[in-house]
């Protein structure tokens, strides 16, 4: 059984855990307050879920998801994440995360910052422009005419391949919006980020319509 380590047990971490278990994965999930505070969630998720520390989730995960707001991302277990695909669900929200002038000036994206923090990992931005509960609500079988498409950005083709497969298992089409320097196209405020059901063609059009200076 493939294991997904999920660092962050909030809205996104919890819903990705549910979708992963429904798709046949095992999950190790983590919050900031300790395993005992996750007992109820683990009970709800069932026997294929366990709580752990960030280092344990990173070590156990064949794939690891980091579903933690940007201002809190500096203490990730770098050694245990080395060599792995790390799915970063983070949306840069200055009102919450503080202002990052280099991002604001368009010199770097938040996900390139994450890649620099975890240089031995393969960062992929994914699951950022869908409201978390809709990961379960909007899932459709492959080939449905109105199947929702989600973007993925990475500097590593193998990470895009892995997320494309995961999206498909969860019930979504994938659009490759690589590399990480292009990931601003799905940022809050951009057409692709709006909470609508984008088909693949609509998402591709909205990625092309993205504007550098969109204010959040
Ligand atoms: N909510 C959405 O629908 C949505 C959709 C797409 C993307 N996003 C983005 O995804 C990120 C996560 O969003 P969210 O809504 O899931 O946030 P959230 O509900 O606030 O959950 C954050 C989780 O991270 C945990 N955490 C914080 N610091 C940690 C650390 N150092 N180690 C381990 N766990 C830590 C928190 O633990 P505690 O509970 O113990 O504090 C909490 O479980 C954000 O950047 C957000 O903008 C959100």
Residue 187 lies in a domain: yes
Residue 8 lies in a domain: yes
Look up residue 198 and give its two tokens: 């984008």
Residue 214 lies in a domain: no
Does ligand 1 have an atom closer than 6 angstroms to the CB of 179?
Answer: no
Q: Which of 6, 32, 134 to mutate to test the pocket of ligand 1 (most atoms within 8 A of CB)?
A: 32
In angstroms, the Cα distances linking 66 to 2, 53, 116 are 17, 13, 15
Give percent of the chain above pLDDT 90. 91
Residue 112 lies in a domain: yes
For 143-198, write each residue's pLDDT tens digit: 999 999 999 999 999 999 999 999 999 999 999 999 999 999 999 999 999 867 99
Q: Atom 21 (ligand 1): residue with closest C-alpha? A: 10
Q: Which of 9, 12, 76 to mutate to test the pocket of ligand 1 (most atoms within 8 A of CB)?
A: 12
Q: Atom 6 (ligand 1): residue with closest C-alpha? A: 128
pLDDT of 215 above 60: no
Q: What is the CATH number of the domain that holds 42?
A: 3.40.50.720
Going from the Cα of 13 to the center of ligand 1, the distance in angstroms, rounded, reads: 7
Q: Which residues contact 26 (CB under 8 A, 6 or more apart)?
A: 1, 2, 3, 4, 48, 49
Residue 74 exposed, middle or buried by CB count within 10 Å (0-12, 13-18, 19+): exposed
pLDDT of 200 above 60: yes
pLDDT of residue 29: 98
Q: The domain containing residue 18 runs over which residues?
A: 3-209
Rounded to 5°, angle at Cα 34 from 49 and 115: 80
Residue 120 lies in a domain: yes
pLDDT of residue 72: 60
* Consecutive H or E run containing 117: helix 110-117
CB 208 within 8 A of CB 215: no
pLDDT of 3 above 90: yes
pLDDT of residue 216: 43
pLDDT of 213 above 70: no
Residue 215 lies in a domain: no
- The number of distinct structural domains making up the chain is 1
pLDDT of residue 73: 62
Residue 142 lies in a domain: yes
Provide the strand spans (E) within 89-139: 122-125
For 63-109, write each residue's pLDDT tens digit: 999 999 987 666 799 999 999 999 999 999 999 999 999 999 999 99
For 12-25, write each residue's pLDDT tens digit: 999 999 999 999 99
């Amino acid at each position: 059984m493939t294991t997904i380590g999920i660092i962050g047990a909030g809205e996104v971490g919890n819903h990705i855990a549910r979708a992963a278990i429904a798709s046949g994965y095992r999950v190790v999930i983590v919050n900031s307050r300790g395993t005992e505070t996750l007992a109820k969630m683990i009970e709800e998720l069932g026997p294929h879920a366990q709580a752990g520390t960030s280092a344990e989730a990173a070590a156990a995960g064949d794939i690891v998801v980091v579903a933690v707001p940007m201002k809190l991302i500096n203490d990730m277990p770098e050694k245990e994440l080395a060599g792995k695909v790390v799915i970063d669900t983070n949306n840069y929200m200055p009102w919450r995360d503080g202002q990052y002038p280099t991002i604001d000036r368009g010199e770097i994206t938040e996900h390139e910052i994450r890649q620099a923090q975890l240089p031995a990992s393969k960062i992929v931005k994914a699951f950022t422009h869908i409201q978390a509960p809709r990961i379960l609500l909007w899932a459709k079988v492959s080939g449905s005419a109105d199947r929702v498409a989600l973007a993925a950005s990475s500097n590593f083709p193998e990470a895009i391949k892995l997320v494309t497969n995961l999206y498909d298992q969860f019930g979504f089409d994938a659009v490759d919006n690589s590399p990480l320097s292009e990931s601003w196209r799905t940022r809050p405020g951009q057409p692709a980020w709006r909470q609508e059901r984008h088909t693949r063609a609509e998402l591709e059009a909205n990625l092309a319509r993205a504007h550098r200076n969109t204010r959040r």
